[in-house]
Amino acid sequence: MSLIASNLSIKHEKNFHLNDVSFSMSKGEIYTIIGRTLAGKTTLLKTIAGLISPDSGGLTFDGHDFGSIPVWKREIAMVYQQFINYPHLTVYQNVAFPLKQRGIQKTEIHRRVIAALSQVGLEGFGDRKIQALSGGQQQRVALARSLVKEAKIVLLDEPLVNLDYKLREQLREEFRGIFDTKASEDSILIYSSTDPVEAMQLGGQILVMDEGRVIQQASAKEIYENPISTKVSQITNDPAMNLFDGRIEDGCIVLSPEIKFDLPSHFNGLPQGDFTFGLRAAAISLDDNGFPFSVELSEISGSETFLHVRHEGLKIVGLLNLVQNFSVGGKVSVRFDTKHLYAFAPDGHLKSSPYGGLQ
Amino acid sequence: MSLFYSTLKYLAVTLWSMFVIAPFLWALTTSFKDFQSVTSGATYIPWVDFEPTLDGWRSLFKSPAQGGIAIVEPFFNSVIVTAAGSGISIILGTLAAYSLSRFTFRVGPIRNGDITFFFISQRIMPPVVLSIPFFIMLGKLGLLDTLFGLVLVYVVLLMPIAVWIMVDFFNKVPLEIDETALIDGCNPYQAFFKVVLPNSVPGIIVAGMFCMIFGWTDFFFAFILTFTEVQLLPVAIVALNSSITPWWSLSAAALVSVAPLVVVAFVVERYLSKGNLSGALK
């Protein structure tokens, strides 16, 4: 069973909402669509659901033309980023709704609703009104309604984005458990997110979207190790990968007259010339023998510190262990861990990665 | 300071309550008076200031020939016209509002907003402008001085109110609710009737209340478009106004005419207090 999209395009006036999108998805897999806001993630999910018709291109599911099947006859489920439920119904009635629509027997509906509520941790909440639930509980109801259908395709459109941090972390863990169970069965799970951490944690296959295009589709590991372009590297890293223009000349990488370092071994095949180099924030550290930078901003995030530093036109962000205090304008010595350096061509395409991706 | 503001608040509420309740009290006491009590100066307390009588209330059930105003038939005429006019307006208005909220209409330069304004614009025109075409059209259809003719006119007058309120209401209902219903197996009609409509009850109640108030209190069209066969309550009450106005009958009739609206207000207020009109959608 597979869902195949061929050259899907949706254009509104001069802007493409989807631009020649093609992919293939198989059952039992989790697919995460990652992209910035307005990248086309929701449009793609709604197109798969049948809520939006593409201007051109098509979708097939199990070899059948999906476009000719109306939304209400497609075996799909969808959870939105807003907590969308039926406010006039109780929790039980909400979860039972899609089953009633299918004309399933009452006893079977009861069995499946109770199972779904238990799966999302809402046992005993059946008689409650939706308005009486917290945001997290409301989203669990929406999730239960999507699970109870045992749909062939489950679409999750940034389902955690409107929850507070703690709840997001908790539900993300629970989602993984639920997905693992579901994914092993008969479904294709498609999850959209703007959060690279979320995408990487979910694992599975990742589709990176930008301006209506799928710019890379690969496993989470492959995307992490070999982002095919600077855009992918920016979208799939938080904080975004540091990018800086420089040159390779005489066996050295030259970023500025003062900042030069030896060519790492994985760059040996690269010719001399201009490149855009990329380095993740975690590969930046403080070292007395490093290059001089001045502190622009220091942000504490949990037990880590994001340090924004600058040397003339070169601005980078480092991720330092533990909470560390820096004064703005203060001087620090920064070391680049060149073992983790990426090289991109001036047009943005990956030329060399520390994980062997050389194009 | 807080005592000052608290006193000020209660003073304002008391004054406002007096302003609202005083006419009712005046009408209530007057309805139990007779010619003597009304013309002998200001009197307020029954059995102390004046001797109460049921003459005013009895006159509501007597024919004009017996010196009464026979309010029963006009009352039920008003109930029929208002209920039918409001009901049809709400049904048509809700459907029109839903389509204006959810679908995009383009006819030349005309867009959804223009169509909504077209509905409302009928309420902007002075009633007298509308009365002439209404009179001619109903005359040609043979519907002058009939309940059916009045219902048709009231639908035209009340539907803009329903459309106006319901378009605004539907615009606030997330489109994703409709989409979720489709995904859960409803066709577009089922999505509307099973999901959107039940969640629109608050809006429908508000729109219905406004339609009923406007319909029930209309005098102008009820006066212009009826003659002898059909009479609505406001016209029957105004007909009492003569050289010697029977204030006791007029007051009793006024209280009867306001009673249905008071009942509606109480029902809606009870519904509001249960929280059914707020927070329906999160």
Please give, rounded to a whole number of angstroms, the shortest distance from the CA of A54 to a CA of chain B: 17
Nearest CA in chain A to B183: A72
> A71 and B184: CB-CB below 8 Å?
no
Specify if A235 maps to a domain: no
Neighbours of B273 (CB within 10 A): 9
**How far is residue A233's CA from residue B31's CA, in Å, rounded to a whole number?**
84
Q: Could you say which of A71, A86, A138 has the minimum Cβ distance to residue B183?
A: A71
- The whole-number pLDDT of residue A179 equals 67
- The whole-number pLDDT of residue A343 equals 95
Cβ contacts of A161 on chain B, cutoff 8 Å: none
- The whole-number pLDDT of residue A76 equals 94
Q: B interface mutation test: which of A101, A113, A162 has the most B CBs within 10 A?
A: A101
Structural domain harbouring A29:
2-229
What topology does CATH give the domain B72-239?
Answer: MetI-like fold (1.10.3720)
Question: In Å, how far are A1, A118, B212 from B230, measured between CA atoms?
Answer: 71, 64, 19
Phi, psi for residue B279 in degrees, rounded to 5:
65, 25
Residue A348 and residue A206 share a domain: no
Q: B interface mutation test: which of A53, A66, A72 has the most B CBs within 10 A?
A: A72
Specify if A206 maps to a domain: yes
Residue A15 and residue A73 share a domain: yes
Q: Which of A229, A251, A280 is where one domain is finished?
A: A229
- The SS3 of residue A352 is strand
Q: Is the pTM of this model over 0.95?
A: no
Specify if A237 maps to a domain: no
Residue A139 and residue A247 share a domain: no
Neighbours of B29 (CB within 10 A): 19
Cβ contacts of B201 on chain A, cutoff 8 Å: 88
CA nearest neighbour of A334 among A304, A353, A307, A298: A307
User: What does the pLDDT look like over A205-221, one tens digit per residue?
Assistant: 999 999 999 999 999 99
Number of domains in chain A: 2
- The whole-number pLDDT of residue A308 equals 95
- The whole-number pLDDT of residue A322 equals 87
Residue A297 and residue A171 share a domain: no
Q: Which of A229, A257, A291 is where one domain is finished?
A: A229
Q: Could you say which of A70, A83, A98 has the minimum Cβ distance to residue B282?
A: A83
- The whole-number pLDDT of residue B222 equals 93
- The whole-number pLDDT of residue B277 equals 44
Cβ contacts of B195 on chain A, cutoff 8 Å: 86, 88
Buried b (16+ CB within 10 A) or exposed e, A250-281: eeebebeeebebebbebbeebeeeebbbbbbb
- The whole-number pLDDT of residue B191 equals 95
**How far is residue A154's CA from residue A147's CA, in Å, rounded to a whole number?**
8
Residue A255 and residue A344 share a domain: yes
Residue A189 and residue A267 share a domain: no
ipTM: 0.87
Q: Which residues of chain A fall short of a pLDDT of 50?
A: 359
- The whole-number pLDDT of residue A312 equals 87
Kind plus residue range of the DSSP H or E element containing A229: none
SS3 string, A130-198, reads HHHCCHHHHHHHHHHHHHHCCCCEEEEECCCCCCCHHHHHHHHHHHHHHHHHHHCCCCEEEEEECCHHH
What ranges do the domains of chain B cover?
2-66, 72-239
CA A228 to centroid of chain Cα atoms: 16
Specify if A358 maps to a domain: no
Question: In Å, how far are A9, A113, B7, B16, B19 from B10, measured between CA atoms?
Answer: 64, 52, 5, 10, 14
Nearest CA in chain A to B189: A72
Specify if A234 maps to a domain: no
Q: Could you say which of A80, A88, A98 has the minimum Cβ distance to residue B184?
A: A98
Please give, rounded to a whole number of angstroms, the shortest distance from the CA of B97 to a CA of chain A: 20
- The whole-number pLDDT of residue B118 equals 87
- The whole-number pLDDT of residue A170 equals 77
CATH number of the structural domain spanning residue A206: 3.40.50.300
Please give, rounded to a whole number of angstroms, the shortest distance from the CA of A102 to a CA of chain B: 7
User: What does the pLDDT look like over B48-106, one tens digit per residue?
Assistant: 888 888 888 998 888 877 777 888 999 999 999 999 999 999 999 999 999 999 999 98
Specify if A357 maps to a domain: no
Residue A215 and residue A246 share a domain: no
> In what side-by-side order are the strands of the sheet with A314-321?
A314-321, A304-311, A284-301, A331-336
**How far is residue B138's CA from residue B114's CA, in Å, rounded to a whole number?**
28
Cβ contacts of B277 on chain A, cutoff 8 Å: none
- The SS3 of residue A226 is coil
Q: Which of A182, A205, A229 is where one domain is finished?
A: A229
SS3 string, A261-281, reads EECCHHHCCCCCEEEEEEECH
With beta carbons less than 8 A apart as the criterion, state whether B112 and B104 touch. Answer: yes
Residue A218 and residue A75 share a domain: yes
Q: Are strands A314-321 and A304-311 parallel, antiparallel or unpaired?
A: antiparallel
Nearest CA in chain A to B174: A84
Please give, rounded to a whole number of angstroms, the shortest distance from the CA of A18 to a CA of chain B: 20
Cβ contacts of B281 on chain A, cutoff 8 Å: 87
**How far is residue A355's CA from residue A340's CA, in Å, rounded to a whole number?**
8
Specify if A114 maps to a domain: yes
Specify if A327 maps to a domain: yes
CA nearest neighbour of B235 among B75, B66, B31, B23: B75
Structure token digits, residue A191: 């999850």
Query: Average pLDDT of each block of 10 consecutive residues along chain B (282 residues)?
Result: 88 93 90 83 80 88 80 94 96 95 90 88 86 94 95 95 92 92 95 92 89 93 92 88 79 92 83 50 42
